[in-house]
Amino acid sequence: MPVQNKIINYGKQTIDEDDINAVIAALRSEYLTQGPSVEIFERDLADYCGAKYAVVFNNATSALQAAYHAAELSDGDEVITSPLTFAATSNAALWFHAKPVFADVEFLTGNIDFATLEKAISNKTRVLAPVDFAGNPADLDQIIDLARKKGLVVVEDACHALGAKYKGRMIGSLSDMTVFSFHPVKSITTGEGGALLTNNHKYYESAKRFRGHGIVRDGFAGLTHASWYYEMQTLGMNLRLTDFQSALGSSQLKKLPNFIDRRRIIAARYVEVFQKLPNLRVIQPNNLNESSWHLFVLVLEGSLATKRDQIFEELRKRGVWVQLHYIPVYKHPYYKKIGYVNELCPVAEKLSNRIFSLPIYPSLTNDDQNVVIDSVKDVLRKFS
Ligand SMILES: *Cc1c(COP(=O)(O)O)cnc(C)c1O
């Protein structure tokens, strides 16, 4: 067997003793699910983001579905989103027989391009679903303003952006609904997990009902019922997060500001080194100190632009486990099968062919970051 190089992944969770103790305490308690930790985590999240309500889910894909359900998405409605995202953003719309419409992205940021988004609006559009690519918030003022004028609902896929700010305001407090993920590579983790944040009571109630089979237990006007009484009022699912996961979530959330600080320090170092190299560009957020830096994405330019795959393989051979975020969603075989054509979004395609994501996570050591930097420099030199 060849000696296995140490692998430095592009993302990784940070779990400390206090996180472990929080989970143990929840496991020793009366409740494994539907206990007090769930509502505590929801309150913590809403407070942290400055939103009125939070509803936690078993993952962000479920939270996206709940958001589209709350927006009353149905047959033939259109959802405008970015092709440079994880497939769940648009998949969740397909489950409601709605049609994802992909607007192109900006070459500089990888975020949805506002002019293209505006042009994509039709009389069937119901939801705008911007994605905060790499942790850099999309152009939310313009998008929310447009949605107000046209009577559309903004569902922000902020799975990369828990802890990010937009013009001084916390992500999670701005769009009609904002969705976060707690997958291990995201800002904080609950193993699997997600949340929907909103300031709108109707969306909040709808999301909660959708999470729990559409069942309602109280608030029946004018009637008196026995205490066991409940009604299933709408069609729902079971998309609940457990108590021990919620306990982990609250524990992780306390450390989120430190996590983000560490990501910003790592990113600043990468930016400093890589912006000096030829034929290379950094996907720069609008504000270096407001991004949550979920991803650190490099773009190959000039003579390196066609060599991404070789560079990618060479880095992985050295244990630097770079990733691709993303293949434009409509290029996946399933999307082709349902009628999407290649070359739909030329800028997203161009980016997708030239980008790769470097390791960035709070526990990445300076030594490991040095290994990444030296490897990238070395490999780029080789292909120059
Ligand atoms: C991670 C992610 C999701 C899905 O999150 P899960 O919690 O794994 O369901 C959706 N959209 C984006 C942009 C993501 O990064």
Indicate if the pLDDT at residue 2 is higher than 80: no
The owner of tokens 């995202």 is 85
Q: How many angstroms does the Cα of residue 211 sit away from the middle of ligand 1?
A: 17
Residues of the chain above pLDDT 90, percent: 92
Cβ-Cβ contacts under 8 Å for 199 (sequence gap 6 or more) = 51, 52, 53, 173
Indicate if the pLDDT at residue 333 is higher than 50: yes
- Distance of alpha carbon 381 from alpha carbon 384, whole angstroms: 5
- Distance of alpha carbon 52 from alpha carbon 173, whole angstroms: 8
Structure confidence at residue 284 (pLDDT)? 86
The overall average pLDDT reported for the chain is: 96
Q: How many angstroms does the Cα of residue 72 sit away from the middle of ligand 1?
A: 21
Indicate if the pLDDT at residue 3 is higher than 80: no
Q: Which of 4-8, 131-135, 304-308, 351-355 has the lowest mean pLDDT?
A: 4-8
Per-residue pLDDT, averaged over 278-294, amounts to 93
DSSP-assigned letter for residue 360: -
Per-residue pLDDT, averaged over 159-176, amounts to 98
Cis peptide before 230 (omega within 30 of 0): no
The answer to whether 279 and 301 have CB atoms below 8 angstroms apart is: yes
- Distance of alpha carbon 331 from alpha carbon 151, whole angstroms: 30
The answer to whether 190 and 63 have CB atoms below 8 angstroms apart is: no
Structure confidence at residue 303 (pLDDT)? 96
Per-residue pLDDT, averaged over 78-87, amounts to 98
Structure confidence at residue 226 (pLDDT)? 82
Per-residue pLDDT, averaged over 199-227, amounts to 89
Structure confidence at residue 54 (pLDDT)? 98
185 is written with which tokens? Answer: 């590579």
Indicate if the pLDDT at residue 149 is higher than 80: yes
Indicate if the pLDDT at residue 1 is higher than 50: no
Name the residue of 159, 239, 357 to mutate for ligand 1: max ligand atoms within 8 A of Cβ. 159
Per-residue pLDDT, averaged over 252-262, amounts to 98
- Distance of alpha carbon 157 from alpha carbon 176, whole angstroms: 11
What are the pocket residues of ligand 1 if the criterion is a CB atom closer than 6 Å to any ligand atom? Answer: 59-61, 85-86, 88-89, 131, 157, 159-160, 181, 183, 194
Least Cα distance to 207 among 192, 196, 193 occurs for 196
Torsion sign over Cα 66, 72, 73, 79: negative
Residue 254's CB is within 10 A of a number of other CB atoms, namely 14
Pairing label, strands 169-170, 165-166: antiparallel
The owner of tokens 């030199």 is 381
Residues of the chain above pLDDT 70, percent: 98
Structure confidence by residue, pLDDT tens digits, 174-199: 999 999 999 999 999 999 999 999 99
The atom of ligand 1 lying closest to the CA of 193 is 7
Indicate if the pLDDT at residue 19 is higher than 70: yes
The answer to whether 240 and 211 have CB atoms below 8 angstroms apart is: yes
Cβ-Cβ contacts under 8 Å for 122 (sequence gap 6 or more) = 78, 101
Torsion sign over Cα 267, 268, 271, 273: negative
Q: Write the burial class of residue 56 (CB in 10 Å: 0-12 exposed, 13-18 middle, 19+ buried).
A: buried
Cβ-Cβ contacts under 8 Å for 345 (sequence gap 6 or more) = 83, 102, 103, 104, 105, 116, 328, 330
Q: Which of 154-168, 210-224, 306-320 has the lowest mean pLDDT?
A: 210-224
Q: Write the burial class of residue 241 (CB in 10 Å: 0-12 exposed, 13-18 middle, 19+ buried).
A: buried
Indicate if the pLDDT at residue 60 is higher than 80: yes
Name the residue of 131, 181, 294 to mutate for ligand 1: max ligand atoms within 8 A of Cβ. 181
What is the pLDDT confidence band of residue 82, given thresholds at 50, 70 and 90? very high
- Distance of alpha carbon 64 from alpha carbon 81, whole angstroms: 13
The answer to whether 103 and 162 have CB atoms below 8 angstroms apart is: no
- Distance of alpha carbon 247 from alpha carbon 258, whole angstroms: 19
- Fill in the amino acid letter for 142: Q
